[in-house]
Amino acid sequence: MLLLTKKDLQKAITMPEAIDIVEKAFTAFSTGRAAVPIRTQVEVAEKEAVALYMPGFIPDLGALGVKIVSVFPQNISLEIPTISSLVVLNDPETGQPAAAMEGGWLTALRTGAASGAATRHLARRDAAIAAIIGAGIQSRTQLESLLCERDIREVRVYDVSPHRTRAYIEDMQEYLGKPGLAFTPASSAVEAVAGADIICCATTSKKPVFPGNKIKPGAHINAVGSFTPEMQEIGEDVLSKADKVVVDSLEAVLSETGDLIIPIKKSLFRKEDIYGELGEIGGGTKKGRENEAEITLFKTVGLSVQDMAVGIHVLKKARELGLGREFDFHA
């Protein structure tokens, strides 16, 4: 079995590659060419945390395996990541474990890539101003993926912690090395989203993080944070402003995210109001953005097809490049 560290992964895949891979994985999912059972969630109530077990199989790619991912929001006070994860791939011919790889970086990469693919199909082509709500790990790859798809000139960043906003801006300026890209720390979410062309939300908030009345016509929103029925990062006022609400998986969002479950329970939104899955748009059976004024929203809770598709790409590349370390459990 091949063991792969975060550094190995970073040598094996880039964000533009991940966006293409995740786009195709969503299409495989939406056209019934992937087996993705709803993930199992185990609550760790005393830590307000959850561990998720996410199996998946994409026969066309030979990608079979499981991701174990834990979300411990209180880790923020320990200055360690909220999300930790391990991805295990099996050989689809024999079922034997083929690889185990660091999953935290992979999760951030594939989650950014999902928003990149959504941005490709749903954002205006001339989108130039991005608002980033939440300045954590996911928001870093959210921005990286936007820059792959659109010519973003200005980035407004808002986090409840001004210290984290500042750290985000410093890190991203250094990582991206784009002196022409202007970063502005926003003093409120309203200030960040007013006039923004693309809004990315990746917070651990249980309550809506910005009001619908500040969204400009033509804006696109990527909503990443909420993954339990109690968490509502996007308010119903935002949903009702959106002309197209697109999701990663109808089944998953309707069972996992308060962004949709809460408004549906209050009869302020209906599941029939969901336009479709991103995989249907990527596969060409539904249209993406159709005019300059549409407000579009992509809600993702995250699917194992993203992890399996990115994981198998990384494994193949690692074998080509001689990365990683073999480990024999039977030795």
Ligand X SMILES: NC(=O)c1ccc[n+]([C@@H]2O[C@H](COP(=O)([O-])OP(=O)(O)OC[C@H]3O[C@@H](n4cnc5c(N)ncnc54)[C@H](O)[C@@H]3O)[C@@H](O)[C@H]2O)c1
Please give the residue ranges that form the binding site for ligand X (CB under 6 A). Answer: 71, 76, 82-83, 107, 111, 133-139, 158-161, 164, 189, 202-205, 209, 224-225, 227, 300-302
Residue nearest to ligand X (CB): 136
Q: What are the CA-CA distances from residue 30 to residues 123, 131, 185, 288, 316 (Å)?
A: 21, 29, 38, 15, 25
Nearest approach, Cβ of 262 to ligand X (angstroms)?
Answer: 16
Determine the length of the chain: 331
Q: Which is nearer to ligand X, 156 or 323 (CB)?
A: 156
Q: Which is nearer to ligand X, 164 or 286 (CB)?
A: 164
Q: Which is nearer to ligand X, 30 or 138 (CB)?
A: 138
Which of these is catalytic: 6, 11, 67, 287? 67
Task: Spell out where the chain has E strands.
Answer: 2-4, 40-44, 49-58, 63-71, 83-90, 97-102, 129-133, 154-158, 182-185, 198-201, 220-223, 244-247, 274-277, 296-299, 325-326
What distance lies between CA 287 and its chain's CA centroid?
21
Phi, psi of 174 (to 5 degrees): -70, -45
Nearest approach, Cβ of 135 to ligand X (angstroms)?
Answer: 5
Q: What are the CA-CA distances from residue 321 to residues 13, 50, 153, 313, 317 (Å)?
A: 12, 35, 36, 12, 6
Nearest approach, Cβ of 113 to ligand X (angstroms)?
Answer: 10
Nearest approach, Cβ of 224 to ligand X (angstroms)?
Answer: 4
Q: Which is nearer to ligand X, 164 or 178 (CB)?
A: 164
Tell me whether residue 47 is one of the annotated catalytic residues. Answer: no
Q: Which residues are catalytic?
A: 67
